[in-house]
Amino acid sequence: MHLYLHIPFCRQACHYCDFHFSTNISNKGRVVEAIAREMVLRKSYLPKADIETIYFGGGTPSMLSEQELEMLLDTIRRHFKVNSDAEITLEANPDDLDKNKLIQLQKAGINRLSIGIQSFHGPHLQFLNRVHSAEEAQQCVRMAQDAGISNISIDLIYAIPSETHEILQSDIQNAFALNVSHISAYCLTIEPQTAFGSWLKKKKIKPIDEEFAAQQFEILTRSLAENGYEQYEISNFAKSGQYSSHNSSYWKQRPYLGVGPSAHSYDGKSRQYNISNNAKYLQAIAEEIIPATIEQLSAADQTNEYLLTGLRTKWGVDRAKLQTLSLGTFQAAHQKELAAMIEKGWLVDQDGTLLLTQNGKLFADRIASDLFID
């Protein structure tokens, strides 16, 4: 089983971000206590099974104090059985990480860090409204490695307005110099409820140029492959098989419990979405109510989710499983489309497993949605 904890606080709002967080940290301690309480209330959400991965996401979990992190981990260990080799990831921003903090994280049991670097180019960091500098980002990765946390992932964003291929190449070289085990690289998307979304509406910035973004994706995937990073999911690259076990569990439709404001959970048949409001979350948990919306997944939902996430991975989607999930309707509904996509060189069928080609990866979401069932 897999456990996700959403820590909904950030120092400042990045201009592209539409995750749930608050920059008002006056009730951080109370929200952290409520997250611990929610875990206890929901410990039977999934059938009894050992915890294989724990993921502190957000928001900015590196804003947790030593006591808050220890209290959460202690609650997990008291109420769940955690595998001795469990992957325990904490998302961190470079400005929160100094030598002492890193030693503290390592001692608490964090064995994987996902560091939100985004870019090593100063003007881009300012444009994105990141708190840290490129130098801080480089220093904190080296300090984390010195503190004994060797499993480090960094996030990068490409196709930023004013990006050039030279800047991207320099970002990639900077990432290689840090010798991290994992890189997540995302194309900038402009979401309506963000600063960028409002600037786009006011024509202060231009929309992302799709052709330029495709060229950047091509540069990125080629450079990373040449340097030993395997693209095991469209936006995720790992050295020597050091995949994110936690994120892989989402892509493989494994059940997980998510706690905290805005966290999602999945039990194989339904999804639950916690309320994205810290005050309402606190109030509900104080009354021992889980403030979640429940969505029962139909056969079509399960088939379409499998297509959407599975096709993006190196494991692809299994045609027999598609038939089962769709109650026997997938094959008849999409025989022609599948043949056309294979003919175009977007998909290959490898012994009953559908896999995207490198060309197909450019249209992954469109290919998946064209194969959706009603």
**Binding stretches for ligand SF4 (CB under 6 A):** 10, 13-14, 17, 19, 21, 58-60, 93, 116
Nearer to ligand SF4 by Cβ, of 59 and 260: the residue is 59
Torsion region of 82: left, alpha or beta (phi above 0 gives left; psi -120 to 50 gives alpha): beta
Q: 116 or 261: whose CB is closer to ligand SF4?
A: 116
CB of 333 to ligand SF4, least distance (A): 38
At closest approach, how far in Å is the CB of 74 from ligand SF4? 25
Q: Report, in Å, the least distance between residue 61 CB and ligand SF4.
A: 10
Name the residue nearer to ligand SF4 (CB basis): 91 or 233.
Answer: 91
Comparing CB distances to ligand SF4, the nearer of 59 and 261 is 59
Smallest gap from residue 272 Cβ to ligand SF4 (A): 21
Least distance (Å) from ligand SF4 to the CB of residue 58?
Answer: 5
Q: Based on CB atoms, which residue is closest to ligand SF4, 192 or 268?
A: 192
Cα distances (Å, whole numbers) of residue 357 to 30, 164, 224, 311, 316: 48, 26, 17, 10, 10
Residue 13 or 25 with smaller CB distance to ligand SF4: 13
Contacts of residue 251, defined as CB under 8 A and 6 or more positions apart, other chains included, come to 233, 309, 310, 312, 313, 315
State the nearest-atom distance from the C-beta of 93 to ligand SF4, in Å. 6
- Which amino acid type is present at position 20? H
